Chain A
Amino acid sequence: MKDIIRVKCLLSSDVETLLNQQIKKEAHSSAIYLSMASWCNRNGYDFSADYFFKQAEEERQHQLKFYKYVLDMGGTAISPEITNIKIEYNSFREVFEEALDQEISVTQSIKNIAARCHKEQDYVTLEFLNWFFREQREEEYKARRALELFEVIGEEGTGRWQIDKHVGQIVYNSEA
């Protein structure tokens, strides 16, 4: 008897489900960043708004990367429905705290997929995920640095204005 399922699709149904959840997560992330950009713009933090617009675009690219991967592997990529996106934030700082939380949760969820791949010996997907681990290192670094500006500069006086100006200048160029 032929192994038809394997011929049609390289992904196990479990990994496919996890990847589709990740597609949703990335889309959700992108939508959250867009909402943060809106809040920053409305409150006069222009540089931070730009920063979040860029982040939103990046998350969208990540989503598409997962999406195309699932299709390339013969799976069914599901276009996600995104709801419950927060509009208001209590403070400038809270925006960045949530941004970091968001990145941490994305990293954790990709680690979870990798763990499943290890279990199934799905080295093809593992290799694909490697790019994301590298990317998450950068994303978490940037989010953490942004939040640290609140400590380094302080919010008093023109502090927030300074923080906003420096957010756009955070770069990650580690060779490691």
Chain B
Amino acid sequence: MEIGLNHYLALSAILFAIGLIGVMRRKNLLLLFLATEILLNSVNVAFAAISHYYGDLTGQMFAFFVIAIAASEVAVGLGLLIVWHKRHGNIDLDNMSTMRG
């Protein structure tokens, strides 16, 4: 059996679903970052696959952009996370409710 576009897209969809569930269920900020990374990379998989399928490099280029942005986002996010941990001693989402309306 040859692995075609649909397999990649299915993988991407599964990864995206896992990421979404992670975003919803996780209470730990660090794991939340991991879930977001899964979301972003599921999309990268789809970009790369479709790009290859059409023989157009734009999708792959875009995937690189996403990786770069994801990296910087994680860098900032982790920095904030460490500061938070230093102040409060935990990284539990339920304690971060200073923006209550």
Q: Bound pair: A and B? A: no
Q: Which residues of B contact A (CB under 8 A)?
A: none
Which residues of A approach B to under 8 Å, CB–CB?
A: none
